[in-house]
A and B are shown apart, each in its own frame.
Chain A
């Protein structure tokens, strides 16, 4: 591939892994809804979003594997790492819960994901820029869909409003991690490869605020925030997800399909 590699490869590996793991874990979570969606159209929509995300994960993780240079491809990275080696934010590993919980998680992530990918489209690393640019155009659909559902449920019946608000309140403490940079983010930002997570907060707040207002929902207060996913400290929920996702590949490790 005619791409130029900039910067330290270990940091770049860590950075690409985070992008890939976010997409992979959320894609797998949404896949759990397949054939269980509340209506046929939503079943198709969730499966389509899952497919997009798993497609993104493949591109990011293949790139991470190439950068690492130890012969691991996307499948190897997806199926043969344990919980502590995953680098996704905690928000995406949260269980599906009810439909409002799935919608809240998706909406809060989608808006952040879109602004992140738009910023990375200008990355000095050509491969990251190319993947981000391509993925952003798909995520633009995800943002519109999940935002529509926040409005429908929030501005729906008394019961749907109550559940949507409760789901938002539950998911909110997992959003702080999205905007908190660590050493990997700082180094990648300095190299012109990564984006500044702090800078995503302004457009995210504006977009989320506007949708919540349309949805007659209250923006939860910013209190104590969970963190740790980016360095491999995960919630209990991720282990169960990985056990299911990895069982076939680990059960028949030499098989190709």
Chain B
């Protein structure tokens, strides 16, 4: 039996339903880690190739995300799925979608600001100190850094001076 090959637009839509395991209000597409989809091979070897770029090297969520992608696609009838981990170009928070940023804010996480420079350019050691977060609850920019490392590798811990609430800030990376 010959099954209908899934259209890539449909596949993108399916992947858009997969939540990030650690910040489930955003999808893996909002996160910007799915870089390419393509069909390769022919006949029984016909394979859907998914290129994924990890956020942080040690992020434990990446294994779960890979499993979730394979499961979502096989459940929809894609017989062969091949994942490719693509390291270059390195992931940057500039790849977060505008919609994803808004979902983060609504969830109580201050979204990352734009990166000042090209990710492959030399790292500016002063840039982190200059990064400004905004309180996701009261929108005040009168905030202070508690710790550069928060509950996951991608977040830092801040406190709002205006409303006194602590909050997570998604680091510009």
Contact = CB atoms under 8 A, between A and B. Distances in A.
Contact of A145 (B59, B87, B149): B149
Q: For the side of the interface on B, what is the size category?
A: 20 to 34
Interface residues of A, number: 35
A54 B58 contact: yes
B26 interface: no
A143 interface: yes
B57 interface: yes
Nearest to B123: A140
A138 B128 CA distance: 12
A193 to B, nearest CB: 16
Query: Most chain-B CB neighbours within 10 Å: which of A53, A126, A137, A143?
Result: A137
A52 B56 contact: yes
B33 to A, nearest CB: 13
A49 B149 contact: yes
Contact of A55 (B59, B119, B151): B59
A133 B88 contact: yes
Contacts of A41: 146-147, 149, 157
Interface string A104-143: 0000000000100010010000110111011111101101
Interface string B46-90: 000000000011111000000000000000000000001001101
A100 B119 CA distance: 33
B147 A45 contact: yes
Contacts of A140: 123, 125, 128
Nearest to B91: A134
Nearest to A147: B125
Given A51-B56, A52-B56, A56-B57, 15 more contacts: A41-B149, A44-B157, A51-B58, A51-B59, A118-B122, A121-B120, A131-B87, A133-B90, A133-B120, A134-B91, A137-B119, A138-B56, A140-B125, A141-B171, A145-B148
Interface of B: 56-60, 84, 87-88, 90-91, 119-120, 122-123, 125, 128-129, 146-151, 153, 157, 171, 173
